[in-house]
Every structure is written in structure tokens, then in C-alpha cells.
Amino acid sequence: MDDGPRPRGRPALRAPTPPPIRGSGRSGRATRTPPRPIRRAPPGDGTPRAHRHGHRAPGGSAPGRTACARRRVRPGRRAHGSLWWRVRALELVGRDGRRRGIDSVVRTPEETVNEFIAAIGRKDLDAAVALVADDLYYDNVPIGDMRGASAMRDFLTPMVGGDGPVAFEIVRQTASGDMVMNERIDRFTMKGKEIALPVAGVFEVHDGRITFWRDYFDNGMFMKMLKG
């Protein structure tokens, strides 16, 4: 029966519809469908899990990709960078370039030649020989060539064995790849005579050692200096 128009305002409340009743089959008992579990929001301020374990981006409140997402160096591991290897090599190689467990790998070809010339200037043939390969090819163009570090040592011994100082003064020098070229004034004392000989040198360096050395100079000028 119609009771007439309803007053305006809130709509009439209706009772909730119960879930459907299903039979279990074998037992014959009526069972209700279990409610689905409610997914709860993650704890905190609702930030996604991938961001909750990180830090907030610098200069802002929104979480962002930070150092925790980058590759970390675990304790006890070494950072494999060129700087670390250079420092480690300097610890293993002496200042004169002699081997301490490994060969010298830190010098450029030009630095190797400079250290070689400096060792001759100190009359330190041991340090000089340590900077050349065992199968060194040494060519004194006006005099002749020789092979091997020991042959080079025998050739240089009379020059560095004099009473006066020895100095290979580099006037100009250039380097390209494994090759180094320089213009020098070689000063030394031989047979009581002070020699100042203009020389042009060519060097090749591989794996931190000199493998090729060739010097050009005027042999006639050299003989005149010896005669005085």
C-alpha cells in the first residue's frame, strides 16, 4: 500500500544484502563464501617499498634514486680504478725503477727515458740497466751497434767511470706513442778531456723498458775533443 509521498531529505536506508548461501555438497550444510582478505597499506606515509628503503633526494622531500641504489664497494674489496693501481704500483716499484716483485708499469715512455738519462747522470748504471730490456738494441751510428743490456753497460762504463761529472743535457724532446726523440748535449770526461758533444737520440719503450736506443753525433767533432 502506498503511504503517500515521502518527505525530502536523506534516502531510506536499506538492509545490506547477505552474501549468497552455497551448499557444501557432501555434508549438506549451508556455508557462506569467506570474505576476501583486505590488503593493508604499507606502514609509514604510503611510500612505495622500493623508496622506503632509500633516502630522500637531495634538496627535496620526495624520495629518489640515491647512492644506496648504486653499486657499492663491499668492505675488504678494492675499488678497481686507475688511481688505485697507480698508487699500488708506486709502492711496489722503487724510485729508481728497479723491480720489486713486478715490472715498472707506471711511467710513460717519456718518463722512462728521462729517468734513464738521469740515472746515467748519477753514474748509477744499475738503475740505468734496470730501465732497458734484456734484448736492447743500442746503435751508436758513427761507431757501431750492439745487442743486450750487458753490452750497453760495458760501452757506458768508461764514460761514467771518469773523474768528472756526467750530464746528458736535454735541449729539446718530443714523444709520440712508444717513441721518444731528443736533442742533447752529452757532457762527460774521458781520457782527462772534458767532452760536450751534441747528440740526437731516438728511443723506443715497451712495457716500461727501453727496447731501442740510437744516437747520432759527429764522430769527427768527438775525436777533436779527445785530442784537445
The pLDDT, as a whole number, for residue 172 is 98
- 82-227 CATH, one of 3.90.420.10, 3.10.450.50, 3.30.43.10, 3.30.420.60: 3.10.450.50
Question: Which region among 63-72, 88-97, 157-166 has the lowest average model confidence (pLDDT)?
Answer: 63-72
On the question of pLDDT at 149 being above 60, the answer is: yes
User: Which amino acid does the sequence have at 133?
Assistant: A
- What is the mean predicted confidence (pLDDT) over 69-79? 51
Comparing 6-20, 151-165, 195-209, the range with the smallest average pLDDT is: 6-20
pLDDT band at 68 (very low <50, low <70, confident <90, very high): very low
Q: What is the percentage of the chain residues whose pLDDT exceeds 70?
A: 54
37 phi and psi angles, rounded to 5 deg: -65, 145
DSSP β-ladder status, 209-216 and 132-140: parallel
- What mean pLDDT is predicted for residues 126-150? 96
How high is the pLDDT of residue 161? 84
Residue 93 has pLDDT above 70, yes or no: no
Nearest CA to 225 out of 159, 151, 169, 172 is that of: 159
Q: If you average pLDDT over every residue of the chain, what do you get? A: 76
State the pLDDT at residue 37. 64
Residues 6 or more apart whose CB falls under 8 angstroms from that of 166 comprise 120, 121, 123, 159, 160, 187, 188, 189
CA angle 165, 200, 135 (to 5 degrees): 85
pLDDT level of residue 67 (50, 70, 90 thresholds): very low
pLDDT bin (cut points 50, 70, 90) of residue 31 is low
pLDDT tens readout for residues 181-224? 999 999 999 888 999 999 999 999 999 999 999 999 999 999 99
Mean pLDDT of 103-110: 76
Q: What is the average pLDDT across 157-171?
A: 91
CA 215-220-221 angle, to 5 degrees, is 80
Catalytic residues: 186, 215
**pLDDT attached to residue 223:** 94
